[in-house]
Amino acid sequence: MSRAREAERRARDVLDPVHFDFLAGGAGAERTLADNEAAFARRRLLPRVLRGAGAPDLSTTLLGAELAAPVVVAPTAFHRLAHPDGEVATAVGVAAAGGLMTLSMMATVAVEHVADVGVPLWFGLYLQPDRGFTAAVVARAQDAGCRALVVTADSPVRGRHTRDLAHGFRALPEGMVCENMRDADWRVRDLVVDADLTWDDVAWLRATTSLPVLVKGVLHPADARLAVGHGVDGVIVSNHGGRQLDGAVSTLDALPGVVDAVAGRVPVLLDGGVRSGTDALVALALGADAVMVGRPVLWGLALGGAAGVRAVLGDLADELAHALTLVGARRPGDLTPDLVVTP
């Protein structure tokens, strides 16, 4: 069992069961949640031998950020449900691992405090119908030092989270708020998920900010082409970790179509179900420039705060380095699709 999977098993024992279910759960019958992982399990590697790969080198540059490995932390809400220090502890762990963290707009710690840690940061943005408010959030994230915006595109409505509905989980515990949702008067606003969003809103954002913009939640190749056509700087193949449309295709199955459509014009990232270095290797071989991880980071955080996050990310990188050598490659960029088969 990979360390990330083991961490999930152990995190269940230390977390409040309602909070564990919020973090772990998915939408509907959780078919997409399960299939994200199952898609990796369906693949096998066809390694090359005697290639003199030498010592592995995972170092990666992504939109100007230098990373120890092509593994980025996905935006996830409410880290203080997992650990009292919340997103600050996550940031300390990610920094120690030489990684990059995407901070959710729904974080329970303010972006300025997280940025103080000094970790390379991207900001996970939910476009709000109030463009003035959105622009203010973007300016705040940029002023704090965030280096890119990750726009969530797959949430025109909230996912129906079966476990949360069963528990009646509707509100954060007393004293916990979304610190980045404060308006000019420092009042906390509610998140509005907006079914009227279109590519025009992405064009508006593109024109509003000088930061790189990545669109997260792309599965269809036509949307990948539209994203590039709207001047985005990266496309993230994601189904929100199976938390939005249950029955949506697994991200690994969607990846090749998006990679073809993007045709190398901007980086393509994938998240959903990455639980081991071998999973990461499969996604990289099929054309992803980097993978993102969501829940494994939360399990590390729950188990050991910053040290737990560092351990989860470190284990993923170690496993990836090991698998890289075993398939005959030295760098992630040496990986090719022929190394992956579906028997």
Ligand X SMILES: CCCCCCCCCCC(=O)C(=O)O
Ligand Y SMILES: Cc1cc2nc3c(=O)[nH]c(=O)nc-3n(C[C@H](O)[C@H](O)[C@H](O)COP(=O)(O)O)c2cc1C
Contact 339, 45 (CB under 8 A): yes
d(CA 122, CA 128): 18
> What minimum distance in Å lies between the beta carbon of 290 and ligand Y?
13
The residue count for the chain: 343
Options 19, 79, 161, 240, the catalytic residue: 240
How does strand 340-341 pair with strand 44-45?
A: antiparallel
Q: Which is nearer to ligand X, 55 or 171 (CB)?
A: 171
On whether 156 is known to bind a ligand per the annotation, the reply is no
- Is residue 191 near ligand X by the rule CB under 6 A? yes
Instruction: Kindly tell me which residue out of 24, 106, 311, 317 binds ligand X, with binding defined by CB under 6 A.
Output: 106
Q: Which is nearer to ligand X, 69 or 151 (CB)?
A: 151
Q: Which is nearer to ligand X, 177 or 226 (CB)?
A: 177
Q: What is the identity of the amino acid at 204?
A: W
- Is residue 271 near ligand Y by the rule CB under 6 A? yes
The full DSSP string for 211-263 is: S-EEEEEE-SHHHHHHHHHTT-SEEEE--GGGTSSTTPPPHHHHHHHHHHHHT
On whether 102 is known to bind a ligand per the annotation, the reply is no
> What minimum distance in Å lies between the beta carbon of 105 and ligand X?
9
d(CA 66, CA 337): 25
Window of 86-94, 141-149, 157-165, 269-277 that interacts with ligand Y by CB under 6 A: 269-277
Q: What is the x/- site pattern for ligand Y, positions 143-182, by CB under 6 A?
A: ---------x------------------------------
Residues 72 to 101 in contact with ligand X, rule: CB under 6 A: 77
Window of 44-52, 254-262, 281-289, 292-300 that interacts with ligand Y by CB under 6 A: 292-300
- Footprint of ligand X (CB under 6 A): 77, 106, 169-172, 191, 240, 243
